[in-house]
Amino acid sequence: MIAEVVAIGTELLMGQIVNTDAQYLSRRLQTLGISIYYHTTVGDNPQRMKEAISLALSRSDVVITTGGLGPTQDDLSKEIVAQLLGLPMCFDEESWQAIGDYFARTGRVCPLNNKKQAMFAEGASILPNDCGTAPGCIIEHGGKVVVQLPGPPHEMADMFDKQVYPRLTAMTGGCIASRYVRIYGMGESQVAQLCARWIEDGGKVTVAPYCQLGECQLRVTARGETERDALALVMPVVDAIVAVLGDCVYAVTPTSDGSMEEAAGRALTKRGLTVATAESCTGGMVAAKLVNYPGISAALGEAHVTYANEAKVRYCGVRQETLDAYGAVSEQTAREMAQGLRERSGADIVVATTGIAGPSGGTKEKPVGLVYVACADRCGTEVVRLNLGGSRERIRTLATLRALDMVRRSALRHE
């Protein structure tokens, strides 16, 4: 089956909001083996909406619209789909009652113009909205399936997962399961070379590489009658890949979501370890990333942004002689930052960063993008030198990623 997502809303075209609905739907549809060939975004203009939806119907089996289900005059997605399919609009009393009940629960009076939201194409299967006022619907007509969902992401996702996904599963007669192998510390070309036997196999299990900032991932996918059947094909390949790539694999996830901070946080809390941070050029980004992990309070004892040399001395015990001889951006200073804070805090693991994030401040000897990251634990202190490029934000992000990976690897050594 081929699907197309038509996102409706002038605010999308103007860049006022990001179209996360299409991204979410594409991820969910691929697990059903439904191909997405097009994403279309159209404003709240009746003629252009009609043209966009008509084109989608001409080239796709499943058309999913998001937005345009509100009570105002420019919310016309249901009316336009009904017109294109040659179906009259009908009032649904049960939906109108549900809309009124929603307003009552929130302590408001339901305006009469919301009655528009209870109008649907004849024969549509109505999808109640548990999170808002706009019900959606599914229309099966002339060999096409049209799914109409509300625009707000939380309403859309709730409706799709609870009511649409099961129906599409029944239509496709099977499902696709994937696992994403998240990799850090090994370039895409080396990953592709080591995993060529699976990438080039072309059998029941497909392996596809993807790149993102500072890391790469492999998507391992197979189709089965059930998710369990598909995973029975996927997991042996995943295990074989992990065996080849070793500790460069920091996570295996069911979706492309997942992060290094989760891997680091999980490694710390699982082993009951504590961590502290001393940051200069990253300015607290390492600590902020760690705090994204639920339960990190059991591990993260303290975090210091030691931007000034005086702060490095005061909080980390960096010697003034070291700063005078080698400068703040040096292997020696990074080492003393990590070692000194570990002694003072008593943390099992301490990570420290110091560097030149730019865009100015670099010299020939110490150019913009030079960063030192140090990690101190019971085994000693490791310091890595990074020569990064790009914007200030990119340099800080990549340095943070390396720091988190060093924390993760340090925690794994505490097995």
Domain boundaries, the chain: 2-172, 175-253, 260-412
pLDDT score of 33: 82
pLDDT score of 60: 97
pLDDT surpassing 90 at residue 258: no
pLDDT score of 415: 77
Express as a percent the part of the chain with pLDDT over 70.
100
The tokens for 268 are 């710390």
Within 8 A by CB and 6+ apart from 22, the residues are 5, 7, 39, 41, 66
Q: How far apart are CA 209 and CA 336, in angstroms?
A: 39
pLDDT score of 169: 86
pLDDT score of 143: 94
pLDDT score of 353: 98
Q: Residue 139 forms beta bridges with which residues?
A: 146
Q: How do residues 100-148 score in pLDDT, each as one tens digit?
A: 999 999 899 999 989 999 999 999 999 999 999 999 999 999 999 999 9
Domain 2-172 identical in fold to domain 260-412: no
Banded pLDDT at 190 (limits 50, 70, 90): very high
Return the closest-CA partner of residue 279 out of 396, 386, 359: 396
Give the mean pLDDT of 320-343: 98
Banded pLDDT at 257 (limits 50, 70, 90): confident
Helix (H) or strand (E) holding 8: strand 2-8
CATH number of 2-172: 3.40.980.10
The tokens for 354 are 């110091």
Mean pLDDT of the chain: 95
Fold of the domain built from segment(s) 175-253: Alpha-Beta Plaits (3.30.70)
pLDDT score of 11: 94
Q: How far apart are CA 55 and CA 63, in angstroms?
A: 10
pLDDT surpassing 80 at residue 335: yes
User: Is the link from the previous residue into 359 a cis peptide, with omega within 30 of 0?
Assistant: yes
pLDDT score of 94: 95
pLDDT score of 325: 98
Q: How do residues 51-83 score in pLDDT, each as one tens digit?
A: 999 999 999 999 999 999 999 888 999 999 999
Q: How do residues 24-58 score in pLDDT, each as one tens digit?
A: 999 889 888 888 999 999 999 999 999 999 999 99
Q: What number of residues does the chain have?
A: 415
pLDDT surpassing 80 at residue 174: no
Neighbours of 73 (CB within 10 A): 10
pLDDT score of 307: 96
pLDDT score of 155: 96
pLDDT score of 27: 86
Banded pLDDT at 173 (limits 50, 70, 90): confident
Question: Over 12-62, what HEC string results?
Answer: HHCCCCCCHHHHHHHHHHHCCCCEEEEEEEECCCHHHHHHHHHHHHHHCCE
Q: For 242, list phi and psi in degrees, rounded to 5.
A: -60, -40
Return the closest-CA partner of residue 3 out of 235, 165, 191: 165
pLDDT score of 170: 87
pTM across the whole model: 0.77
pLDDT score of 1: 86
Strands (DSSP E) found in 80-135: 89-91, 119-121, 125-127
Strands (DSSP E) found in 108-205: 119-121, 125-127, 136-141, 144-149, 175-183
Contact 357, 392 (CB under 8 A): yes
CATH class of 260-412: alpha beta
